């Protein structure tokens, strides 16, 4: 009989932060998808831009009378310290699009193709301790938690801050694109909608 197993079963980990962004408005879904994809490539949460190497674990696309519904799930990871396998960042992203329809919008007298509907992006940052269980094989097996909580405590706190910053930058890149107020002093990406200029 098959056994269902959580991918974190038996792994020591800590969820550092999570976020949810929801927008029900006119947006450009393809550009949102591309922005998220390219951010993860640029920040090395995936090894390649190629689709077959990208960590998309689930994709659903169906159409109904109310519009398109889409789900996609990305499970990205990064080794924060080069050559050190004792730490790993996981960035888990779940996206859900509802009642999405194709529309045309007029900006500055020109028509552009866009989408109208509801999009929700949920993300979480997880810090993994010894994901390959290297310390379980040697004499440090019984001292593993002590090593992480005492000897490597400063490194642990630094990596938690790095992961939290990455998750917030990813969230703010999406929020800036969707014209939702952000809280970092700088914007992560340029806005999709140009600022309205006075009519001449």
Q: Check residue 50 and report its DSSP letter.
A: S
pLDDT at 179: 81
Instruction: Give the per-residue pLDDT at 141.
Output: 67
Structure confidence at residue 110 (pLDDT): 85
User: In this predicted structure, what is the pLDDT of residue 119?
Assistant: 92
- Give the model's pLDDT for residue 187: 57
How far apart, in whole angstroms, are the C-alpha atoms of residue 116 and residue 7? 35
Query: Structural domain boundaries of the chain?
Result: 12-177
Q: What is the pTM of this model?
A: 0.81
pLDDT of residue 74: 94
Q: List the chain pLDDT tens, one digit each, 200 residues.
A: 666 667 778 788 889 999 999 988 888 889 999 999 999 999 999 888 887 888 988 899 999 888 899 999 999 999 988 878 888 999 999 999 998 888 888 878 888 888 888 999 999 999 998 777 777 776 666 676 777 777 788 888 999 999 999 999 999 999 988 887 666 555 555 555 455 544 54
74 and 55 in contact (C-beta within 8 Å)? yes
The per-residue pLDDT for 186 is: 58
Residue reference for tokens 């109208």: 116
DSSP 82: T
* 34/28 Cα distance (integer angstroms): 10
**How far is 43 from 172, CA to CA, in rounded Å?**
14
What pLDDT score does 95 carry? 95
């Amino acid at each position: 009989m098959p056994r269902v197993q959580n991918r974190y079963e038996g792994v020591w980990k800590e969820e550092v932060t999570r976020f949810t962004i929801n927008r029900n408005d006119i947006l450009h879904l393809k550009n949102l998808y591309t922005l998220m994809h390219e951010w993860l490539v640029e920040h090395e949460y995936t090894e390649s831009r190629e689709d077959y190497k990208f960590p998309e674990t689930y994709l659903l696309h169906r159409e109904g009378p109310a519009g398109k519904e889409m789900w996609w799930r990305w499970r990205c990871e990064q080794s924060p310290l080069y050559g050190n396998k004792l730490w790993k960042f996981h960035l888990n992203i779940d996206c859900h699009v509802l009642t999405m329809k194709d529309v045309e919008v007029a900006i500055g007298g020109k028509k552009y193709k866009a989408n109208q509907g509801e999009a929700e992006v949920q993300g979480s940052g997880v810090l993994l301790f010894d994901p390959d269980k290297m310390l379980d094989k040697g004499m440090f097996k019984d001292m593993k938690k002590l090593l992480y909580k005492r000897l490597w405590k400063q490194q642990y706190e630094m990596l938690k801050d790095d992961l939290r910053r990455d998750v917030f930058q990813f969230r703010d890149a999406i929020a800036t694109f969707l014209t939702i107020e952000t809280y970092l002093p700088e914007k992560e990406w340029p806005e999709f909608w140009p600022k309205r200029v006075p009519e001449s």
